[in-house]
Amino acid sequence: MPGALRRLARSDFVRFGIVVFAAQTGANVLNFLFHVLVSRRVGVAPYGELNALLAGLTILSVPATILTTIVVKYAAEFRALDDSARLNALVLRVAKTLGPVALAIVPAGALLAGPIAAYLNVSSLRSIVLTALVLALNLLLPVLRGILQGAERFREYAASTLLEVVVKVVLAVTFTSIGWGVAGALGGWAAGSAISLAYTFATLRRRFGSRERVPLSLDWPRLARTSGGVTAATLLITAMGFGDVVIVKHYFEPHAAGLYGAGALAGKMLFWLVGFVPAVVLPRAAGSAARGERATPILLQALGAIALLAGGGLAFYAFFPRLVVTALAGNAFAPAADIVFSYGIAATLLATLNTVALYKIAVHRFDFIAPVAVVAAGELLTIVLRHNSPQQVISVLIVGNALALGCSLFRIDAPLRSPAFGSERAA
């Protein structure tokens, strides 16, 4: 046993996982504090405006999430080949391609500020412009941070993540405390993103900028296949993770829908708890595939980490569901304790599916997309047709997520067919 523990301690997956887990946990706690502290300073109605703007920001940030996954994959392949010159070329390509788009977002937001403010009932046009600035910064920041992730510079990746949220919370609380309201909260967010972006770009240039300049030639058919697979996987898992809440909000009476939403939020905490796992799996599996090595051991370590952490969480949910939901949402939501454990099972299955999906993307194998799409469509349709109780909806989620996971696990150990990016051949 001591020998096994020593091997575990020396495992790159464990070492990197601890770093990313610590960073993401810290970021989640600070983001929670952002909402707790800001809401108490701006008041109920302005906080409603802020939430509406942040919801729009989340929706419009989906393309950046997709681009980040693609960039992580290719950065990991360059790192596996020890090709620092192409990593530098990738940094420059991202900056030159996305930079002008980001710059255009702010004036576009200013031009559309009036109609957006009228639709969302936002009182300040300045808040709309600042939201556009945050969106612009967060088009570039996560993609550049993804190069750090793909190159397995996890300490710098963690520093970039924490720097953003620390500055955001400190300045947002400061600005709202002196009466700047929603604009102050968004100004603090923008400042945090800008400082983190500057740090991230400077770190990338310091690590790779002095290398020999080389052109970044792209295998467009392979890039298109990767982009299509990443986009489909992201949309499918998002739909399976949040579609039930939307359907329940439509069909249930308001009080019951509110209780379901609180129970779902509590259950999804297990999904976020293990969110660091795919962040480590993606670059490490892509690097192994680029070197022609078996990547399955990385996936098995990841599944073990999910079983350990989410399994412990489920045990806590089984014994203390009321404590979980009331600590999260307040005593008024105590009746939602009845669904916390079962929703936690559904969320754990979804987290496992997300990890396996990113593993298969990393090794350039997209055979899971079609069957998971069929299961996802069936899951959501079944909820539309059968929603007599919250437990019935969650039962559908559990069965659907388990079926989708089973589909994604098919052929996880098949011979690798994806060459390294540098070979310029599509799989």
pLDDT tens figures, 374-404: 999 999 999 999 989 999 999 999 999 999 9
According to the 3-state scheme, what is the secondary structure of the chain? Answer: CHHHHHHHHHCHHHHHHHHHHHHHHHHHHHHHHHHHHHHHHHCHHHHHHHHHHHHHHHHHCHHHHHHHHHHHHHHHHHHHCCCHHHHHHHHHHHHHHHHHHHHHHHHHHHHCHHHHHHHHCCCCHHHHHHHHHHHHHHHHHHHHHHHHHHCCCHHHHHHHHHHHHHHHHHHHHHHHHCCCHHHHHHHHHHHHHHHHHHHHHHHHHHHHCCCCCCCCCCCHHHHHHHHHHHHHHHHHHHHHHHHHHHHHHHHCCHHHHHHHHHHHHHHHHHHHHCCHHHHHHHHHHHHHHHCCCCCHHHHHHHHHHHHHHHHHHHHHHHHCHHHHHHHHHCHHHHHHHHHHHHHHHHHHHHHHHHHHHHHHHHCCCCCCHHHHHHHHHHHHHHHHHCCCCHHHHHHHHHHHHHHHHHHHCCCCCCCCCCCCHHHCCCC
Q: Rounded CA gap, 321 and 94, in Å?
A: 45
pLDDT tens figures, 335-350: 999 999 999 999 999 9
Site of tokens 């569901």: 321
pTM as predicted: 0.83
> For residue 69, how many other CB atoms are within 10 A of its CB?
26
75 against 12, higher pLDDT: 75
Q: For residue 422, give Cα distances in angstroms to 9, 14, 17, 166.
A: 33, 28, 27, 38
Band (415; pLDDT cuts 50, 70, 90): low
CB 95 within 8 A of CB 218: no
Which amino acid is residue 356, in one-letter code? V
Exposure string of 176-201, with b = 16+ CB inside 10 Å and e = fewer, is beeebbbbbbbbbbbbbbbbbbebbb
pLDDT tens figures, 252-265: 888 888 888 888 88
Band (420; pLDDT cuts 50, 70, 90): very low
> For residue 301, how many other CB atoms are within 10 A of its CB?
20
Q: Rounded CA gap, 398 and 342, in Å?
A: 8
Which amino acid is residue 362, in one-letter code? A
Band (8; pLDDT cuts 50, 70, 90): low
* Range among 17-21, 191-195, 238-242, 321-325 rated most confident: 191-195
> For residue 55, how many other CB atoms are within 10 A of its CB?
11
Integer Rg of the chain from CA: 22
Q: Rounded CA gap, 286 and 299, in Å?
A: 11
Residue 145 has pLDDT above 80, yes or no: yes
pLDDT tens figures, 231-243: 999 999 988 988 8
What pLDDT does 425 receive?
A: 37
CA 127 vs. chain centroid, Å, equals 25
